[in-house]
Amino acid sequence: MKAVQMHGYGGVEQLRYEEVPTPIPGPNEVLVKLAATSVNPIDWKIRRGDRKTTMTLQFPVILGRDIAGEISAAAAGGSDFKVGQKVMALGSRTYAEFVTVPTAALVPVPEGLDIEQAGALPLVVSTGAELMERIGPRRGDTVLVTGALGGVGRTAVYVALERGARVIVGVRARQQQQAQALQAAQIVALDSDSEVSALPELDAIADTVGGEVIGNLLPKLKRRGVLGSVLGSPKAAEGRDIRIETFSAQPNATRLARMTEAVRSGKLAIPIARKFNLSEAAAAQQLAETGHVNGKVVLVA
Ligand SMILES: NC(=O)c1ccc[n+]([C@@H]2O[C@H](COP(=O)([O-])OP(=O)(O)OC[C@H]3O[C@@H](n4cnc5c(N)ncnc54)[C@H](OP(=O)(O)O)[C@@H]3O)[C@@H](O)[C@H]2O)c1
């Protein structure tokens, strides 16, 4: 099969579309023929070497977390999933024509959901939903979501609204118009000091941006409030009397199925900005990494 292999840390020239052995599914795994995967920030962060100290890699490696496609070999020992069935999952090594996936992680692609859209969902919707579950806002709580127009942020906003929270979406000033579609109670430009200082006291912050942005917002978080972050605990949070929730998203088929249904039914939008062929993964990462793409960058087989 063909796959995109990363041969070392560095720029996108480290990514090569080349012939590799087709993986063999282990016990309780299926082989999925890729229809679509997507570029997530973690892919280019790993490639750049940002995770060098915490994640040991043996090159060459295949990157990628999202998979949507068709089962081409069923699990040894049997499962409810059949050859030919369209499935999606939060997986690994997904920049490849064939991917092995544990049956426990599989979710059927629902009727009416485009398979290329399905390939854009697993990591961002799983993460955004878990972020808000961990924060656990109650009805009426004021919750600020940063990076609210990103894939993780959009999902966190959706789940917070579902729970009856009063949601404030934090975006860049130039994204404010676009943010109206999120149907939040308030929009704040995170790059405006005056807008940030005019914020009300917050019960919780769901952070998908980190850095200076979260540092500027923390004084607005009430005592014993909750900071949920997908970027680890920020330095600025040290010594504050708050609850901090950080995590690294793991496959959870129930959560993924629930969020996928929200997308299928049109309640949650995860827009696709660009599609590339799998063979063009280097160009796709280059685009995603420059930012301001306004949606997912999808790789199709
Ligand atoms: N812990 C985990 O398991 C986990 C899982 C998935 C993702 N993540 C992390 O979560 C983050 C978000 O992921 P994603 O897939 O949602 O990315 P994304 O789709 O690129 O969304 C990021 C959003 O934040 C905005 N943003 C960036 N910097 C900003 C700033 N300084 N002020 C205001 N807005 C800003 C971006 O706007 P522009 O496009 O204009 O920059 C974009 O709308 C990434 O850092 C990713 O690595 C963690």
What residue spans of the chain are helical by DSSP H?
41-48, 115-118, 122-135, 151-162, 176-179, 193-197, 211-217, 253-264, 281-290
Confidence of residue 77 (pLDDT cuts 50, 70, 90): confident
List, for residues 255-296, the tens digit of each pLDDT value: 999 999 999 999 999 999 999 999 999 999 999 999 999 999
Shortest-distance atom of ligand 1 to CA 248? 3
Q: Which pLDDT score is estimated for 79?
A: 86
CATH node for 2-121+270-300: 3.90.180.10
CATH superfamily for domain 125-246: NAD(P)-binding Rossmann-like Domain (3.40.50.720)
Share of the chain above pLDDT 90, in %: 97
Ligand 1 lined by 144 (C-beta under 6 Å):
no
Distance 73 CA to ligand 1 centre (A): 35
What phi and psi values does residue 73 have, to the nearest 5 degrees?
-145, 125
- CA 1 / ligand 1 centre spacing (Å): 32
Is the Cβ atom of 252 under 6 angstroms away from ligand 1? no
Instruction: Return the ligand 1 atom nearest residue 175 CA.
Output: 40
194-216 pLDDT, tens digit each: 999 999 999 999 999 999 999 99
Question: What pLDDT is recorded for position 167?
Answer: 98
d(CA 114, CA 117): 5
State yes or no: pLDDT of 88 exceeds 90.
Answer: yes
From 46, 169, 230, 289, give the residue whose CB has the most ligand 1 atoms within 8 Å, as the site to mutate: 230
State pLDDT tens for residues 113-127: 999 999 999 999 999
Contact 144/199 with Cβ under 8 angstroms? Answer: yes
- How many A from CA of 220 to the centre of ligand 1? 21
| Shortest-distance atom of ligand 1 to CA 174 | 40
Average pLDDT over residues 23-52: 97
Ligand 1 pocket: which of 38, 152, 252, 287 to mutate (most atoms <8 Å of CB)?
152
Tokens at residue 246, please?
């950080």
Domain boundaries, the chain: 2-121+270-300, 125-246
Task: Taking residues 84-100, report their average pLDDT.
Answer: 98
